[in-house]
Copies of this chain bind each other. A is one copy, B any other.
Amino acid sequence: MKSAIGQCIQLSLFGESHGEAIGVVIQGLPSGILIDQAWMQKQMEKRKPKGKISTQRQEADIPEIVSGVFEGRTTGTPLCILIRNENMRSKDYSKMRNIPRPSHADYTAQVKYQGFQDYRGGGHFSGRITAPLVAAGAIFLQMLKSKGIEVGTHVSQMQEIMDEPLADDEILLRKQLLALEDQYLACIQDSVRDAIQKRIEEAQTQGDSMGGILESAVVGMPAGVGEPFFDSVESKLAHLLFSIGAVKGVEFGDGFDFAAKTGSEANDGFAIKDGQLQTLTNHNGGINGGITNGMPLRIRTAVKPTPSIYKPQSSVNLKTGEAVTLQIEGRHDPAILHRARVVVDSMIALGLVDLLTERFGILWWKGEDACGGD
């Protein structure tokens, strides 16, 4: 469905990197949800480029809610978030119009849109278009929090540098997620954060870029959410995660490590703990048969290195057919892993809010303090 998605909660995303504005329309939100714009802005900050490990393009990125909120709460009618573009340097791109950047969408967009695409800064394919998703995600994450559900992500791996994994124990996991919440380059271990920061800075110095793996967890999800087959929790979340430009792999629970295990090593036996059915291990990442089992969700997302590097690369002039050695200019990210973290959280939150609404209905979200206008 193009740049639109969702069953109960529907997103319609729009905008180009160098156009007037970018934004998103959210259909299907419950009414009466308190919007914490300060926290929304805090989420936006996590996606903003900062320091030597990010691009130098600076955007205010203040989401303007132009509909769907009245007296501080959602009305239940469509909510549109608008973000104006400001800090554009479109001339940086004009000379590259016919020379596609390797591993970018320049060539594929040219074929698909037959030359009519806004090629400046990647147009609609720019990572910048994820900014409205983070603003929308702030609403979904708050909705989940109101039900005791927490979502969090850390930079788990870059080359050989590996962070400690998130815990399966609920209490410990909630602590870890809380600790990650306000970090910019979010890692569990300080030493890992420092090492990754250094590795990205080195790449930046060399005109190169880095990828890595993000690990996410969700705690507090009720059991029984998700559908068999085509709307399995894995299908739904993977669909959303793979819509983020640089994501090339997604796994749940032990994921690709299952290949090394036997059934007896991989199965999660059941037991009653604190009067509640739980699994003794969590190899399946909280999902059986596409449906949540009440254990924490465990998700890993592979993010490829930013394709915009300053080293010379082989390309072709699409007009003339001549081979070209391309030297990319402009301002680019030596890594986006740290900035993508909050986009991943937002996509997971969207998927879960959609599935929870399908399960429990839209009226389920109405909080105790919700009481309407006078």
Contacts A113-B31, A116-B70; A104 near B288 (Cβ below 8 A): yes
Q: How many residues of A contact B (CB 8 A)?
A: 159
Q: Which of B12, B68, B313, B315 is in CB contact (< 8 Å) with A25?
A: B12
Q: Mark out the residues of chain A between 286 and 327 whose CB falls within 8 Å of any chain B CB in the assembled complex.
A: 287-293, 300, 302-309, 311, 313-316, 318, 321, 323
CB neighbours of A251 from chain B (8 A) = 248-251, 256, 302
Complex CA distance for A83 and B208, rounded to whole angstroms = 43
Q: Which of B103, B227, B361 is in CB contact (< 8 Å) with A361?
A: B361
CB neighbours of A231 from chain B (8 A) = 1-3, 5, 243
Q: Which of B64, B157, B272 is in CB contact (< 8 Å) with A316?
A: B272
A220 at the interface (CB under 8 A from B): no
Residue of B nearest to A306 (CB): B263
A112 at the interface (CB under 8 A from B): yes
A19 at the interface (CB under 8 A from B): yes
Complex CA distance for A22 and B229, rounded to whole angstroms = 14
Contact A229 B3 (CB under 8 A): yes
Complex CA distance for A277 and B249, rounded to whole angstroms = 26
Complex CA distance for A283 and B238, rounded to whole angstroms = 20
Of A50-58, A171-179, A181-189, A365-373, the stretch lying at the interface with chain B is: A365-373
Q: Mark out the residues of chain A between 54 and 108 whose CB falls within 8 Å of any chain B CB in the assembled complex.
A: 64-68, 70, 73-80, 82, 97, 100, 102-105, 107-108
Contacts A3-B229, A108-B223, A316-B271; A15 near B80 (Cβ below 8 A): yes
Residue of B nearest to A13 (CB): B229
Complex CA distance for A216 and B209, rounded to whole angstroms = 28
Contact A5 B321 (CB under 8 A): no
Contacts A124-B228, A316-B270; A254 near B2 (Cβ below 8 A): no
17 additional contacts (CB under 8 A) given A16-B68, A112-B226: A3-B27, A14-B77, A19-B70, A31-B113, A75-B113, A75-B118, A75-B124, A108-B288, A157-B259, A159-B260, A160-B260, A208-B264, A229-B243, A236-B239, A256-B256, A264-B309, A358-B362
